[in-house]
Structure 1
Amino acid sequence: FKVAQKDYTKAVMEHPQSITYRDYGTAAMAQMTQRFAAIPAHNFSRGTFDNVDAISGEQLREFTLTRGKPSDASHACMAGCTIKCSNVFGGEDGKIIVSPLEYETIGLMGTNLDIDSLDAIGRMNWHVNDLGLDSIEVGGALGVAAEAGLMKWGSEEDAQKLIDEMRAGTELGRILGDGAVTVGKKYGIERVPAVKGQAMSAYEPRSIKGTGVTYATTPQGADHTCGLTIRAQVNHLDPTQQKEASLNAQLNMAGYDTIGACIFAGFGYAATPDGVVKRLLKSRYGWDDVPDNILQALGKETIKLEREFNKRAGFTKEDDRLPKWMTEEAIPENGSVFDVSEDVLDHIFDGIE
């Protein structure tokens, strides 16, 4: 086991993506999604953000390094983490604002609201954490609220007032705290970026269509951690190339979840072609019949169980859809709509069930 563990640890620590995350955290994704026109801006009405440099991983790293302790650009979120993609984000006054400040929060509570200040995003992030809410869902809800005229675009003050409503438990606060879909229903807003009641994370599915397939079909709702495809070697705008990219990512991610591994552990697994996952499981549990494709095997079983749960809960194939407006309203930067066929969405899991 220790030999396999050493091989894996070496591979993950030396992987270029691990080094990027160690230096810049998940906020490194801001510049990448900007290039793909896939960063949510103005309630998912655009795929680029004019002042992306101000909220990028590079800017976050500069702040954490120049402001000094307690800021920390590379922080282990748990004991033993070798990637250290987390961070401690402190202000100019030497006090911690929030820890960590992640890309998805920067996207949903920053660019999605036209807010271009990491300090502002961090302050709001702290309040959302303190309330025990999800910054993706709250950011999605605030974007819909801005669409409804409840706050000014780009205003931290207005956004914070709405967060304060949640803390106070007012009628408005309960609506906002219930998420983006509830806000949209209450105020008659069509542009609600959500699937199965869950707000989308910070990857625009009209520009990264494989992730759109994941959003639509994963049993968990619009969840990027179920199968992000931004690194897949496909034309992300071609609707015919997304099925396998999404399916492969979803099976692998469900496999990682099943063995309790961080998503970013995949960089190490992929870099050790001698079947390190199989070796680790075999030596840890004494299993002799571990298949070579153990992640996919575990992923298939997991997704089958999740889909059966959803079926019994009343979900149908009609729930495996992106919002209709995303199939009609194009991203201005590339003219793309989400046009992966419903046949693909309906049959993506046929081979595992």
Structure 2
Amino acid sequence: PGGEMGLRSAGIMNTDQDREPSRINARGGLGAVMGGKQLKAIVLETSQGQEPALTDQQLFKAAEKYYTRELLGHPQTTTFAEYGTAAMTMMCDVFGGLPTRNFSSGHFDGAEKISGEALRDELLARGGYSNPTHACMAGCTIRCSNRYGDVGGEKVVSPIEYETIALVGSNLGIESLEEIARLNYQINDLGLDTIEVGAALGVAAEAGYMTFGDSAGAQALLDEVRSGSALGRLLGNGAGLTGQVLGVRRTPVVKGQAISAYDPRAIKGTGVTYATSPQGADHTAGLTIRAKINHLDPEGQAEISRNAQINMAGYDTLGVCIFAGFGFAEAPGALRDLIRGRYGWDPGENVLSDLGRETLKLERQFNHAAGFRPADDRLPEWMTEEPLPPHNSTFDVPDQDLDQIFDLLD
């Protein structure tokens, strides 16, 4: 109902290969756009579908085999297959960047209880519906999804992802995977973004509308959203509006969109991405946590972020999962040959960066026409002033670096 209610955190729910309507185009309020157009659903008739023609089948198949081999051999593929994106929980906690109690800390005492390792052990022990290694779509070789069942083996939700574990878990002080999964299901059932809603609930907790660590209190607030009450509509419209109305300064948003599960004071390159990405505070626009740098040092973070944003914009334009990058990084030329084999034209050696640069320029032009200016490419002021435990760091990347980050796109 979130889209029909016109809530800004509403997404578009997609069915996966198990016909679970739980894969969501979550960010940016796309569900509200559909609701505003009174568009209930988009149905694709695929029974008469055909595989796309290949211009050079031999080249395409060779590139596909090469790429798949390198992807499966990458250690990160094994990690995601075993633990899913929840593998990031302990990594972010060690970095001091795990959102905790409305972004008041980067360390959560209960992190191990909601980690990828704990999730895998729990799902294997429960059996039945539960599965820690699951493909959300046919043909996926990474299989980073999962299915979470209760102690009786019955379905609770699929999937439970790191972003949800952090924003609906540690960010709310909740250290039970079962409780997070049930809140995850309710947010899905409302058709809303777990990142945006989790951030809004954290702001509400800061304002005293629930107690940190109280999943029943979080559920009660979700019931308000479902009922369409004034408080519920406020929460369903996201963290930014919730913080503004409730008078909470510590509101984690950029360009009106909630910051995702990597606190930018501890992972500063991602903070640059949050600030400058045309998509707002979106980790998929250019996550830098795997860069081999000192993430607490402001020096050089803009360059790391720019390169990540270019690559991610390229993958988005191609319709490629961002995790596919592990394979393409190990299989030089595979992306070029896949495109050549499919379409018959040579995109050149730098197809990914060429597409990424062009996409970012177009997105920035759109944002400029919509009224965004360099002053909007900033993190919330409190993040530059309020130290984040345990490293007591602030976001101190110079404004000049943010303003000049895209000067080299042309």
Q: Same fold judged by TM-score > 0.5?
A: yes
Query: Structure 2: any 5+ residue segments left out of the alignment?
Result: 1-59
1:16 aligns with 2:62: no
Residue 231 of structure 1, CA deviation:
0.4
For 2:341, the aligned partner's letter is S
Match of 2:301 in 1: 242
SS of equivalent to 1:350: coil
Match of 1:116 in 2: 175
Once the two structures are superposed, the pairs formed by residues 126-145 of structure 1 within 5 Å of their partners are 126-145=185-204
For 2:140, the aligned partner's letter is C
Once the two structures are superposed, the pairs formed by residues 1-353 of structure 1 within 5 Å of their partners are 1-273=60-332, 275-288=333-346, 290-353=347-410
Deviations 1:213-252, CA, capped at 9 Å, x for gaps = 0000000000000000000111111111201110010000
SS of equivalent to 2:146: strand
**Cα distance in 2 between the residues matched to 1:242 and 1:184:** 28
Does the Cα contact within 8 Å between 2:123 and 2:130 map onto a contact in 1? yes
For 2:331, the aligned partner's letter is T
Residue 13 of structure 1, CA deviation:
1.1
SS of equivalent to 2:147: strand
Deviations 1:67-119, CA, capped at 9 Å, x for gaps = 01110111101011000000000010221111000000000000000000000
Does the Cα contact within 8 Å between 1:235 and 1:241 map onto a contact in 2? no
For 1:334, the aligned partner's letter is H
Match of 2:21 in 1: none
Does the Cα contact within 8 Å between 2:107 and 2:389 map onto a contact in 1? no
SS of equivalent to 1:240: coil
**Cα distance in 2 between the residues matched to 1:33 and 1:167:** 32
Question: Which stretches of structure 1, 4 residues or more, deviate above 2 A after TM superposition?
Answer: none
Deviations 1:151-210, CA, capped at 9 Å, x for gaps = 011000000000010011111100000000011011110000110000011001000000
Does the Cα contact within 8 Å between 2:72 and 2:142 map onto a contact in 1? yes
**Cα distance in 1 between the residues matched to 2:401 and 2:342:** 39
**Cα distance in 2 between the residues matched to 1:267 and 1:80:** 17
SS of equivalent to 2:179: helix
**Cα distance in 2 between the residues matched to 1:123 and 1:14:** 35
TM-score, with structure 1 as normaliser: 0.99
Equivalent pairs, count? 351
For 1:282, the aligned partner's letter is R
Residue 291 of structure 1, CA deviation:
2.1
SS of equivalent to 2:165: helix
**Cα distance in 2 between the residues matched to 1:125 and 1:28:** 18
Deviations 1:2-41, CA, capped at 9 Å, x for gaps = 0000111111111100000000000000010011001000
Residue 314 of structure 1, CA deviation:
0.4
Does the Cα contact within 8 Å between 1:68 and 1:94 map onto a contact in 2? yes
Identity of aligned residues (%): 60
For 2:281, the aligned partner's letter is A
Residue 352 of structure 1, CA deviation:
1.2
Does the Cα contact within 8 Å between 1:88 and 1:98 map onto a contact in 2? yes
For 2:357, the aligned partner's letter is K
For 1:102, the aligned partner's letter is E
**Cα distance in 2 between the residues matched to 1:30 and 1:190:** 26
SS of equivalent to 2:308: helix
Structure richer in helix, relative to its length: 1
Does the Cα contact within 8 Å between 2:336 and 2:351 map onto a contact in 1? yes
For 2:385, the aligned partner's letter is E
For 1:198, the aligned partner's letter is Q
SS of equivalent to 1:43: coil
Does the Cα contact within 8 Å between 2:123 and 2:148 map onto a contact in 1? yes
Deviations 1:128-163, CA, capped at 9 Å, x for gaps = 001110000000000000000000110000000000
Match of 2:5 in 1: none
For 2:344, the aligned partner's letter is G
Residue 332 of structure 1, CA deviation:
1.9
SS of equivalent to 2:133: strand
**Cα distance in 2 between the residues matched to 1:241 and 1:106:** 30
CA RMSD of aligned residues (A): 0.7
**Cα distance in 2 between the residues matched to 1:80 and 1:101:** 20
Residue 284 of structure 1, CA deviation:
1.0
For 1:337, the aligned partner's letter is T
